[in-house]
Amino acid sequence: MNKGFLVTFEGGEGCGKSTQIKLFIKFLEEQKLNFILSREPGGCVLGEKIRAILLHSKEDMSALSEFFLFCANRAEHVKEVIKPALEEGKIVVIDRYYDSSLAYQGYAGNLDIKKLKNITAFATDNVVPDLTFLLDISYEEGFGRKAKDENLKNLDRIEQRDRAYHEKVRQGYLKLAKEEPNRFVVIDASKSLEEIHEEIIKIFLKRIKK
Ligand code: TYD
């Protein structure tokens, strides 16, 4: 039986996801809640190996192969980490999950979303998030922030893609959110750090009590 609570964070480049996850985790610790934090790509031993291929491989890769690598990572991650933690009643927080594949490989990579959703359900054994925060940011603002915080020469294989790709990722995410309004909460990521954090906590507390 699935007794835990699965929260995922999603968004395009420079949306402030990592910072918000840090603040959220600090809150969970202060509340003495039983949680684990994980990420994709990665999250388990095999997943971290696949992550290295996905983000740093020099070879060209089609959107479809990329999708299947993310799926292989995800299948292992669900089986080894996510499901066991949920079965123990834990709050599971993941920095990206399958919505990333639907937005990046699916919408931006021009693959058939319906098919990808079916494969995803199989790969994840139907483990669906209870709550998904989508931090929505424009291309200008997202990459503007990234340019301030890090060296843009160090962008990974996927981050390096052009503006049109990242615009499609954003629109893809918004479509996914519209299709599942009960699961998704879209947050305007141009707001201040504190405002966003407060919004996240408020929504989380309301949902977890349901
Ligand atoms: P990561 O280092 O986790 O960066 P971020 O801080 O942006 O989350 O890199 C993940 C990259 O992989 C990011 O550009 C999004 C991409 N990605 C996909 O394209 N599909 C997926 O299914 C996932 C999980 C990530």
Give the closest residue (by CA) to ligand 1 atom 23. Answer: 100
Check residue 86 and give its pLDDT: 98
CA dist., res. 89 & res. 190, Å (int): 34
State yes or no: pLDDT of 11 exceeds 70: yes
Sorted by where each starts, the structural domains of the chain and their CATH numbers stand as 5-208 (3.40.50.300)
**For 189-195, what is the mean pLDDT?**
97
**pLDDT value of position 2:** 53
Task: Determine the 3-state secondary structure of 152 from DSSP.
Answer: helix
- The C-alpha atoms of residue 29 and residue 201 are separated, in whole angstroms, by 13
pLDDT tens for residues 99-138? 999 999 999 999 999 999 999 999 999 999 999 999 999 9
> Does 10 sit in the ligand 1 pocket, CB within 6 Å?
no
Q: Is 36 helix (H, G, I), strand (E, B) or coil?
A: strand
Condensed to tens digits (0 to 9), the pLDDT of residues 43-70 reads 999 999 999 999 999 888 999 999 999 9
pLDDT per position as a tens digit, 157-168: 999 999 999 999
Cβ pair 15, 133 in contact under 8 A? no
Amino acid identity for residue 53 in this structure: I
Predicted confidence (pLDDT) per residue in 123-133, tens digit: 999 999 999 99
- Percent share of the chain, pLDDT over 70: 99
pLDDT at 197 over 90: yes
Please indicate whether residue 159, judged by its CB atom, sits closer than 6 Å to ligand 1.
yes
The whole-chain average pLDDT of the chain stands at: 96
How far apart are the CA of 209 and the centre of ligand 1, in A? 30
Q: What percent of the chain has pLDDT over 90?
A: 91
Q: Mean pLDDT throughout 82-101? A: 98
Residue 1 has pLDDT above 70, yes or no: no
* pLDDT confidence of residue 7: 98
- In angstroms, the Cα distances linking 173 to 29, 170, 187 are 29, 5, 12
Q: What is the pLDDT of residue 129?
A: 98
Distance, C-alpha 113 to centroid of its chain: 17
Distances (CA, A) of 75 to 7, 25, 68, 80, 187: 17, 24, 10, 9, 28
Per-residue tokens: 199? 């919004």
Q: Which amino acid is at 82?
A: I
CA of 41 to the centre of ligand 1 (A): 6
pLDDT given at position 26: 98
Q: Which range is least confidently modeled, 31-45, 100-114, 137-151?
A: 137-151
Least confident of 30-39, 55-64, 174-183: 55-64
The answer to whether the CB of 40 is under 6 A from ligand 1 is: yes
Classified as helix, coil or strand, 27 is helix
